[in-house]
Amino acid sequence: MRKWTLIQVFLRCFVAQVAMGMRYMQSFGFAYAIYPGLREVYPEGRKLTEVFRRHLSFFHTHPVFFPCILGCILRGEIESIRGGGDSVQLAATKDVLMGPFSAIGDGFFGAALRPLAAVVGVALAIQGSFWGPAALITIYNVPNLWFRLEGFIQGFRRGVGVLDKVRQWQPTRYMRWMRVTSALVGGAFVASWVHTEASMPLLSGRGLWTALGSLGLAILVQRLLSRGFSAIYILYLVALVVGGIALYTA
């Protein structure tokens, strides 16, 4: 397959979620993304239409691993036309891969990397640093783009074996460390902020109320985490509370 065709297929992954429905989810985006590859593999006519319609079945996975499965299925289509596969097997492959990749993507990008990027970015931005938004964008998007590109390449090269390749990257291994890092950065930021506010004369009550408010906020966050609340929503709550306290003590 030509490199330009593969580039077209990969670039279409970034707009694959533009058209989504409750019934078929990402199926329209999947069919749109894989079409340049199908058009090169199959001749124009009824066969191309049949294959294209086959990819309109239900499909939904994490957006970052969308190119990974797409590359795998495109490889399967090439092997199928060469006599080494069938449509039933390809459909089963999509169903098998989208679940594990959804879980990995939600855990790594949604529950670990995004809160880490947000904590670092917010901590720098509140200090008035330009590097706040730059850090947020960089920390989240560099791994995001790398997983998309490398996943597509490995999916096209390995087919179904791409799942084993992703396991070798061990993304779940780094989830715990990213969560711990988020907590450390957030704790250091709150401690620094409390130290600055508490250094005010206690006669005014502002430093005391700041310390008590921060202690209450820490207890609230611990209780929410223990009850299974999402870390990203807790981060939004903390930002609102801290902002409110800052306005009150200003």
Distance CA 84, CA 14 (A): 30
d(CA 200, CA 202): 6
Which ranges of the chain does DSSP label H, i.e. alpha helix?
Answer: 3-12, 27-41, 46-54, 66-81, 87-105, 114-126, 131-158, 162-169, 171-198, 206-226, 231-249
Question: pLDDT, tens digit, for every residue of 139-170?
Answer: 889 999 999 999 999 989 887 777 778 877 87
Cβ 118 vs Cβ 74: under 8 Å: no
Which residue type is seen at 199? S
Task: Give residue-wise pLDDT tens across range 78-105.
Answer: 887 776 556 667 778 888 888 888 888 8
What confidence score (pLDDT) does residue 7 get? 92
The CA distance from 250 to 234, in Å, is 24
Q: Name the residue with tokens 């049949």.
A: 50
pLDDT of residue 202: 42
Is pLDDT larger for residue 96 or for residue 179? 96
Mean residue pLDDT across the chain: 78
Say whether pLDDT at 206 is over 80.
Answer: no
Phi, psi of 164 (to 5 degrees): -65, -35
